[in-house]
Amino acid sequence: MITAEQMMVFTVLAVTLLLFIWNRWRYDIVALLALLTLAISGLVPSDQLFSGFGHPAVVTVAAVLVLSRGLMNAGVVDTIARQLLRAGDNLLLQISLLTVIVALASAFMNNVGALALLMPVAIWMSRQHNRSPSILLMPLAFGSLLGGTITLIGTPTNIIVASYRKQTDAAAFSMFDFMPVGLAVTLAGVLFIVLLGWRLTPTRQQAANRDGLFEISDYFTEVTVTADSQFSGKTLHELLTALKDNADIVVLAQIRGDTRRNSPSTYSIMRPGDTLLLEADPDSLQLLLEKSAFSLAAKADSDEKTSTDRNAATSELMEVIITTASSLIGRSAATLDLRERSGINVLAVARQGKQLRKRLSKVQFVAGDILLVQGNDEAAAANLSALGCLPLAARGLRIGKPRQVALASSIFISALLLMAFDVLPAATALVAAAVAMLFAGIIKTGEIYHSIDMPVIVLLAAMLPLGIALESSGGSALIAQLLLVLASDLPPLAVIAMLIAATMLLSNVINNAATAILTAPIAIKLAQGLGLSADPFLMAVAIGASCAFLTPIGHQSNALVMAPGGYKFGDYWRMGLPLSILVIATAAPAIAWIWPL
């Protein structure tokens, strides 16, 4: 019979899952609301309410995110990715190299970070060979999910599952305990993607051209500051403030004599004879000329001028994608005042593979938007990273100095060895490696906090007490008893396959880390009810929670490629469904063989 305490836990859990699926509020906010509800109801003691923030699994995930940033800074993965640019125009070779490399990188760093490094390369390849990015991006995303199953640190779900093993009076899973099963699943999945899966990916946008998404050359214009203008002697800030409610104008450069200042400060003073290089639509340009009494600069040869302006501007232009954790979401460039605060000009916005033609001041950014931006120095790139934007398209790969590549690799490998030989716990070894990278100058102090995905950390810290409440109230045992009724007549291998499938389905509609927290204790109770070892059941949870191929919301990697690839929600299952079936068919016997039932 269900107790009042169990009913309360089940109600909170059901509402939490529905809110996760609804996706109206961010998952970390939902998790915090669930935690507070349990605290108010007395199901979680007040002294344990925020214990999740100090849980080794949470600390380990944070350390992995910091180390991933350090490896990016050092150029460890970029050095490998650079070789992809030599793949030529053979599509099958491109898909093979991209998928294999992202899988290998995802095994030893955060899989979202690995995808973020290689996604610009995939888009560059698409444009160079006039192909749709959708052909390469979904295989890349799925490859990152597969690779994350290989090691302890490949994905947060493995770290969570490893910590739950302690509840069976055994040591937590170590660094390479996941490798035999994860490697089998990854090899099968990659072979499927390369040989057949990519052909099931729909082409949802036109083939990308070499010039990219944006056609902005028609909007480049030069104006000259005249002596009789009311804005002569005033700052660019005063000019733009007078126009911003009625016009969209971006000052790309200020030219005075032989001196050109790209992306000038908004407090730069305009003098008679100055030439301003602007990005503006015809209506905004007309309003500027009427209000300022500036004159259009003479054009000796319009075609040559356009080419010159484009070449001058594109040396500082880059395309960036707004990630799901970006602070830009729901806001506009005007409200954020990006030019003055971050030294960034937003020149154009593309959504679902098409450039938006409405005024930029009216565009509210959403996750997946691609921005054409201009910045004047390295600080602009750092600011974009802090805002949650990733560089795309034909940008130069940041190849680290050989000394940094070697040093970062040595630090990282040392941490892996300390973990593999049980010299130090995973959290201690990885935090020590992150500190070592800090003292070595590979990662800066400010970058440490920017690299930690706080929504994921809050989600884990808030959901762990919910998992504890589910177990302490007897809820996990009750669910396991119901599953035992279904599994009592099935062979153990079929039970493992059923657990993988159920976990996989749940992971496609809620966050994969939350899935692992909820299903791991149930898997332990199920194993105990069947009189079997819990290890294969926990491995089944790890595989199922990591392999969310059916929807874009199950994993950040899937969401990240949705807009650049022009995918729709229903596109993922076309390749994802057969891949999911293959994973179950491969993982179940591999688990039973490696981890005897």
Rounded to whole angstroms, how far apart are CA atoms 310 and 253?
Answer: 12
pLDDT class for 572, splitting at 50, 70, 90?
A: very high
Domain-embedded: residue 404: no
The three-state secondary structure class of 222 is strand
For the chain, give me the number of helices (H) and strands (E)? 25, 10
The answer on 159 and 12 residing in a single domain is yes
Whether the per-residue pLDDT at 214 is higher than 70: the answer is no
Q: What is the pLDDT of residues 24-72, one digit of tens each?
A: 788 889 889 999 998 888 888 887 888 888 888 889 989 988 988 888 7
Q: Where are the alpha helices (DSSP H) in 169-269?
A: 179-195, 236-243
Domain-embedded: residue 397: no
Percentage above 70 pLDDT, the chain: 86
Domain-embedded: residue 89: yes
Domain-embedded: residue 399: no
Neighbours of 130 (CB within 10 A): 12
| Of 50-59, 160-169, 391-400, minimum mean pLDDT range | 391-400
The answer on 221 and 198 residing in a single domain is no
The answer on 376 and 291 residing in a single domain is no
The answer on 476 and 431 residing in a single domain is yes
Say if strands 249-256 and 317-322 run parallel, antiparallel, or are unpaired.
unpaired
Domain-embedded: residue 76: yes
Rounded to whole angstroms, how far apart are CA atoms 415 and 164?
Answer: 22
Q: Note whether 440 and 407 are within 8 A (CB).
A: yes
pLDDT score, position 584: 97
Whether the per-residue pLDDT at 127 is higher than 90: the answer is no
Rounded to whole angstroms, how far apart are CA atoms 146 and 327?
Answer: 29
The answer on 95 and 198 residing in a single domain is yes
Strand partners, 390: 321
Rounded to whole angstroms, how far apart are CA atoms 213 and 166?
Answer: 51
pLDDT score, position 216: 54
Q: What is the pLDDT of residues 83-97, one digit of tens each?
A: 676 677 788 999 999
Whether the per-residue pLDDT at 151 is higher than 70: the answer is yes
Domain-embedded: residue 406: no
The three-state secondary structure class of 252 is strand
Mean pLDDT of the chain: 83
Q: Where are the alpha helices (DSSP H) in 421-491?
A: 426-439, 445-451, 454-472, 475-487
Domain-embedded: residue 405: no
Between 469 and 207, the higher pLDDT residue: 469
φ, ψ dihedrals at 351, nearest 5°: -135, 130
The full length of the chain comes to 597
The answer on 566 and 442 residing in a single domain is yes
Nearest CA to 456 out of 514, 507, 542 is that of: 514
pLDDT class for 312, splitting at 50, 70, 90?
A: very low
Q: What is the pLDDT of residues 186-201, one digit of tens each?
A: 999 999 999 999 999 8
Rounded to whole angstroms, how far apart are CA atoms 545 and 554?
Answer: 9
What is the amino acid identity at position 87? A
Strand partners, 317: 374
Q: Give exposure, 505-538, as e/b (b: 16+ Cβ within 10 Å).
A: ebbbbbbbbbbbbbbbbbbbbbbbbbebbbbbbb
pLDDT score, position 4: 86
Q: Note whether 529 and 487 are within 8 A (CB).
A: no
pLDDT class for 212, splitting at 50, 70, 90?
A: low
pLDDT score, position 280: 77
Could you give the maximum distance between any two Cα atoms of the chain, in Å?
92
The answer on 86 and 41 residing in a single domain is yes
pLDDT score, position 400: 45
CATH number at residue 334: 3.30.70.1450
Show the domain range for 368.
317-392
pLDDT score, position 471: 82
Write out the two tokens for 105.
């990188």
Is 169 exposed, middle or buried (CB count within 10 Å of its CB: 0-12, 13-18, 19+)?
A: exposed
Whether the per-residue pLDDT at 497 is higher than 90: the answer is yes
Rounded to whole angstroms, how far apart are CA atoms 237 and 233?
Answer: 12
Whether the per-residue pLDDT at 316 is higher than 70: the answer is no
Is 154 exposed, middle or buried (CB count within 10 Å of its CB: 0-12, 13-18, 19+)?
A: buried
Q: What angle do CA 245, 248, 249 make, to 5 degrees?
A: 120
Q: What is the pLDDT of residues 512-563, one digit of tens each?
A: 888 999 999 999 999 999 999 999 999 999 999 999 999 887 788 888 888 7
Q: Which of 215-219, 314-318, 380-384 has the highest mean pLDDT?
A: 380-384
CA dihedral angle for residue 170, residue 171, residue 174, residue 176, rounded to 10 degrees: -30
The answer on 227 and 201 residing in a single domain is no
Percentage above 90 pLDDT, the chain: 35
Q: Note whether 431 and 59 are within 8 A (CB).
A: yes
Whether the per-residue pLDDT at 226 is higher than 80: the answer is yes
Domain-embedded: residue 35: yes
What is the amino acid identity at position 400? G
How far is CA 192 from each of CA 106, 507, 578, 583, rounded to the nearest angstrom? 18, 21, 9, 10
Given 392, 421, 443, which residue is the final one in a domain? 392
Is 503 exposed, middle or buried (CB count within 10 Å of its CB: 0-12, 13-18, 19+)?
A: buried
Contacts of 196 (CB under 8 A, 6+ apart): 578
Indicate the number of domains in the chain: 3
The answer on 223 and 183 residing in a single domain is no
The answer on 380 and 282 residing in a single domain is no
The answer on 228 and 192 residing in a single domain is no
Fill in the DSSP letter of residue 299.
Answer: -
Q: Note whether 462 and 31 are within 8 A (CB).
A: yes
Given 314, 339, 358, which residue is the final one in a domain? 314
The answer on 152 and 21 residing in a single domain is yes
